[in-house]
Amino acid sequence: MAEAERIIGTPDTPDAAGDGRERPGSEDTGARAGESGTAPTGPAAAGASGTGEPETAAGPAPRGRRRIAVLFAVALFAYALDLISKLIVVAKLEHHPPIEIIGDWLKFEAIRNAGAAFGFGEAFTVIFTVIAAAVIVVIARLARKLYSLPWAIALGLLLGGALGNLTDRIFRAPGVFEGAVVDFIAPKHFAVFNLADSAIVCGGILIVLLSFKGLDPDGTVHKD
């Protein structure tokens, strides 16, 4: 009997171990699974990056659109508005009586200011010029990782205002980097200022509000 079994052989069983042979059809099971187009599930679906976000054939899913164009558009608008207003003030209002807009509460009066915003620190004109240039450089560098629309508007206001006053510092009398800024908005019981100062203040207030809300320039929100 044992001799007959040796000659005929025994059939393969699914749980046979160590015989080094595979069951029929097991060789192409993986190939058929890949050809069926079924998306993987579970940990494999998280992608090779391990971030838990699906990846496309071209790489990870896009993070979003940078807001550099918005930043420079707002800056250009603020700068152009400030520059045009100063040209009109110098041509039509300088060396002329003030124009009353709302009685004594608001007047347009041309004043040359050698200090910072709102007339402060007239003895440090060169220092304020350097600070304005540094602010422009910092904003330009920050634009590379800017994904937040509110931050783009805020930084655009700062950039446009800084450029407006820096233009006066460079090109107006008494000399390069010592030029006096043209101010003309004169509220009652308050310092005289210009549109560049207004843009800088509005941009600064917006940045403070965004910081309190936890919104970063890259679009992420953090909780303290």
- Token pair recorded at residue 116: 């910072």
Q: What is the pLDDT of residue 7?
A: 44
Whether 12 is catalytic: no
**How many CB atoms neighbour CB 23 within 10 A?**
11
- Token pair recorded at residue 59: 């790489």
Enter the pTM of the model. Answer: 0.68
DSSP, collapsed to helix, strand or coil, labels residue 146 as coil
Q: What is the pLDDT of residue 223?
A: 74
Whether 197 is catalytic: yes
Q: What is the pLDDT of residue 97?
A: 93
Give the C-alpha distances (Å, rounded to integers) separating 127 from 123, 124, 134, 154, 177.
Answer: 9, 5, 11, 24, 9
Distance CA 139, CA 141 (A): 5
Catalytic choice (28, 197, 216, 224): 197
Q: Hey, what amino acid is at 154?
A: A
> Which residue shows structure tokens 């549109």?
195
Distance CA 79, CA 85 (A): 10
Q: What is the pLDDT of residue 129?
A: 78
Residue-by-residue pLDDT tens, the chain, 224 positions: 444 444 445 544 444 444 444 444 444 444 444 444 444 444 444 444 444 444 444 443 345 688 999 999 999 999 999 999 999 999 999 999 999 999 889 999 999 987 655 555 555 567 777 888 898 999 988 888 899 999 999 999 999 999 999 999 899 988 888 888 999 999 999 889 999 999 999 999 999 999 999 999 988 998 76
Catalytic choice (28, 104, 183, 216): 183
The answer to whether 108 and 185 have CB atoms below 8 angstroms apart is: yes
